[in-house]
């Protein structure tokens, strides 16, 4: 399996405990290049924890995660980002009082000059932000708008745009549409599909089975700190996924 070239990320027997809580009891799953992969499971199943192991927030106690051919050894989310793994967190981590372009370049500002006299290159950042937004055909009013004026869907779009815009190989999203209405959800789903078309692998945690069936190529089911089943989306049904989540059906 490790030599299969279309596998971008391979999680092998990953275990992690928080004190006496065994959050991950040996997780095995993999993501393919050019695919949208869904991760589903009840609250407390370990979804966010395994994702945080991929994105440099946690380090597993045992097992390994192979990304793009090499075992990862991230000391921080910044390390994961540099390796090409971007995460859109549930709270989005946008700064309300800054503009869209300022948020897109937060912590990766473009500067002119060197050393102590380096200046922020606002013009370059605004121009690039405009390009990023129009490339993804995001429905955002203007890169000069302050984030506090944007709707939930527009904020999600900005966060996705930021994750996709810096040549990332994998974009991870934890419940990207949980707080959105029907129309905004449809727009965000379009964006996720666009990411795949642009060559990103995408991992989506979702509780919305209809969305999982619409969007994903592959589904992994977690229960009680383990990945209990994996299915090609085209070969399963929402009913089977629910049964696997609750344990009514074993894999």
Ligand X SMILES: Nc1ncnc2c1ncn2[C@@H]1O[C@H](COP(=O)(O)OP(=O)(O)O)[C@@H](O)[C@H]1O
Which residues contact ligand X by CB under 6 A?
A: 18, 21, 23, 41, 43-49
Tell me how far, at minimum, the Cβ of 28 lies from ligand X, in Å: 16
171's contact among Mg ion, ligand X, none, with CB below 5 to 8 A by partner kind, is: none
The DSSP 8-state label assigned to residue 251 in this structure reads -
Residue (56 or 165) nearer to ligand X, CB:
56
26's contact among ligand X, Mg ion, none, with CB below 5 to 8 A by partner kind, is: none
Residue (51 or 138) nearer to Mg ion, CB:
51
Does residue 49 touch Mg ion according to CB under 5 A? no
Edge-to-edge strand ranges of the sheet holding 62-67: 21-32, 7-18, 62-67, 70-71
137's contact among Mg ion, ligand X, none, with CB below 5 to 8 A by partner kind, is: none
DSSP reduced 3-state for 241? helix
Tell me how far, at minimum, the Cβ of 153 lies from ligand X, in Å: 23
Residue (58 or 126) nearer to ligand X, CB:
58
3's contact among Mg ion, ligand X, none, with CB below 5 to 8 A by partner kind, is: none
Residue (3 or 43) nearer to ligand X, CB:
43
How far apart are the C-alpha atoms of 237 and 193, rounded to whole Å?
A: 20
Structure tokens at 186: 């449809």
The DSSP 8-state label assigned to residue 117 in this structure reads G
Tell me how far, at minimum, the Cβ of 124 lies from Mg ion, in Å: 37
Give the range of 25-33, 40-48, 123-131, 162-170 binding Mg ion by CB under 5 A. 40-48
Measured CA to CA in angstroms, residue 175 lies from 11, 74, 140, 198, 204 at distances of 21, 23, 20, 21, 7
How far apart are the C-alpha atoms of 173 and 216, rounded to whole Å?
A: 13
Residue (46 or 165) nearer to ligand X, CB:
46
Residue (48 or 177) nearer to Mg ion, CB:
48
Binder among 37, 48, 154, 185 for Mg ion (CB under 5 A): 48
41's contact among ligand X, Mg ion, none, with CB below 5 to 8 A by partner kind, is: ligand X
Burial of 113 (C-beta count, 10 Å sphere; 0-12/13-18/19+): exposed
Main-chain phi, psi angles of 199, to 5 degrees = 100, 5
Tell me how far, at minimum, the Cβ of 23 lies from ligand X, in Å: 3
Question: Is residue 135 a contact partner of residue 166, using CB atoms and an 8 Å limit?
Answer: no
Structure-derived torsion over alpha carbons of residues 99, 206, 177, 49, reported in degrees to the nearest 10: -30
Measured CA to CA in angstroms, residue 92 lies from 64, 179, 215, 218, 224 at distances of 27, 12, 21, 25, 26
Residue (48 or 156) nearer to Mg ion, CB:
48
Tell me how far, at minimum, the Cβ of 120 lies from ligand X, in Å: 35
Binding site for Mg ion (CB under 5 A): 48
């Amino acid at each position: 399996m490790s030599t299969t070239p279309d596998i971008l990320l391979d999680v092998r027997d990953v275990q992690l405990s928080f004190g006496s809580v065994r959050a991950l009891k040996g997780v095995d799953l993999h993501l393919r290049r050019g695919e949208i992969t869904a991760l589903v499971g009840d609250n407390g199943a370990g979804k966010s924890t395994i994702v945080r192991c991929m994105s440099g927030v946690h380090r597993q106690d045992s097992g390994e995660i192979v990304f793009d051919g090499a075992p990862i050894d991230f000391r921080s989310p910044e390390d994961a980002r540099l390796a090409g793994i971007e995460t859109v967190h549930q709270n989005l981590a946008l700064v309300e009082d800054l503009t869209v372009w300022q948020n897109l370049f937060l912590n990766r500002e473009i500067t002119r000059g060197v050393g102590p006299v380096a200046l922020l290159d606002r013009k370059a950042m605004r121009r690039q932000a405009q390009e990023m937004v129009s490339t993804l055909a995001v429905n955002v009013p203007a890169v000069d708008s302050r984030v506090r004026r944007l709707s939930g869907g527009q904020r999600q779009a900005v966060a996705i745009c930021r994750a996709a815009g810096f040549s990332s190989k994998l974009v991870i999203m934890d419940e990207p549409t949980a707080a959105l209405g029907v129309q905004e959800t449809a727009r965000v789903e379009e964006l996720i599909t666009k990411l795949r078309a642009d060559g990103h692998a995408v991992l989506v945690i979702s509780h919305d089975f209809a969305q999982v069936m619409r969007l994903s190529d592959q589904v992994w089911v977690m229960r009680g700190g383990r990945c209990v089943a994996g299915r090609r989306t085209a070969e399963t049904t929402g009913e089977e996924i629910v049964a696997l989540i609750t344990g009514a059906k074993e894999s």
